[in-house]
Structure formats: C-alpha cells, structure tokens
C-alpha cells in the first residue's frame, strides 16, 4: 500500500516508528492493508497525525476520514488536548472533513 501511495517509498520496518507512537490505526480489506494513520505525541497535551495513507483503490469512500477520527479519539482518550497535522495544500479539504481547522505553523527543513 505504501509503495503505491507514496512515490519513492522504500519498504522498511515500522517497528522503530511504532515504538514511539501514541497509537496507530490500520484498516484491512481483501486480505491486505488498505489504510493507516500514526499518532505521535509529546507525552503531554500535543499529539501529531503522521503518515495518513489510503490505498488508491480505496480512496474517496471515507476511509481516511474514519481512520483520522478514530486516531483522534484514541489521542483524546490518552489525555492529549490538541491534535496537530501538517499537510500539503491539496489535502486541506480532506483534513477539514476530519475536523481540523487551519492554523499558522512553521517548518524547518533539516
């Protein structure tokens, strides 16, 4: 799923990422992974949506929104008070459907 969704993706173990996650939500269909979202956090009030991915064959049916909303509920249940997401401009409408509102943010390439 990741290689067809993310150009340049290289298969690698997700274990180091998941070990640092607050939660992750996955969806399976037809015996394969079709959706995924990861939530990292600072151990306090702030959690962060990362790597929201839906297989191209499964897009435009609400799966991504359901995944992000489920991740938000898990973060809320763990005590996070804010859920952040950084995204490219073309994903603004998607994240608005998930309940996010635009904010100003800074980014530093490392």
pLDDT tens for residues 58-74?
Answer: 999 999 999 999 999 99
0.75 cut: is pTM over it? yes
Q: Which residue has the tokens 């073309």?
A: 90
State the pairing for strand pair 32-41/46-54.
antiparallel
CA 65 to chain CA centroid, Å, is 10
Tokens of 98: 């998930």
CATH annotation of 2-97: 3.40.630.30
CA 80 to chain CA centroid, Å, is 16
**Mean residue pLDDT across the chain:** 90
- Rounded CA separation 86/106 (Å): 10
């Amino acid at each position: 799923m990741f290689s067809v969704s993310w150009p340049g993706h290289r298969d690698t173990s997700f274990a180091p990422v998941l070990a640092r996650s607050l939660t992750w939500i996955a969806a399976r269909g037809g015996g394969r992974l079709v959706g995924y979202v990861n939530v990292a956090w600072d151990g306090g009030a702030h959690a962060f949506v990362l790597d929201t991915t839906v297989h191209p064959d499964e897009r435009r049916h609400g799966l991504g929104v359901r995944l992000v909303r489920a991740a938000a509920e898990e973060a809320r249940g763990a005590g996070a008070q804010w859920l952040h997401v950084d995204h490219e401009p073309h994903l603004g409408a998607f994240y608005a459907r998930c309940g996010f509102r635009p904010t100003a943010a800074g980014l530093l390439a490392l």
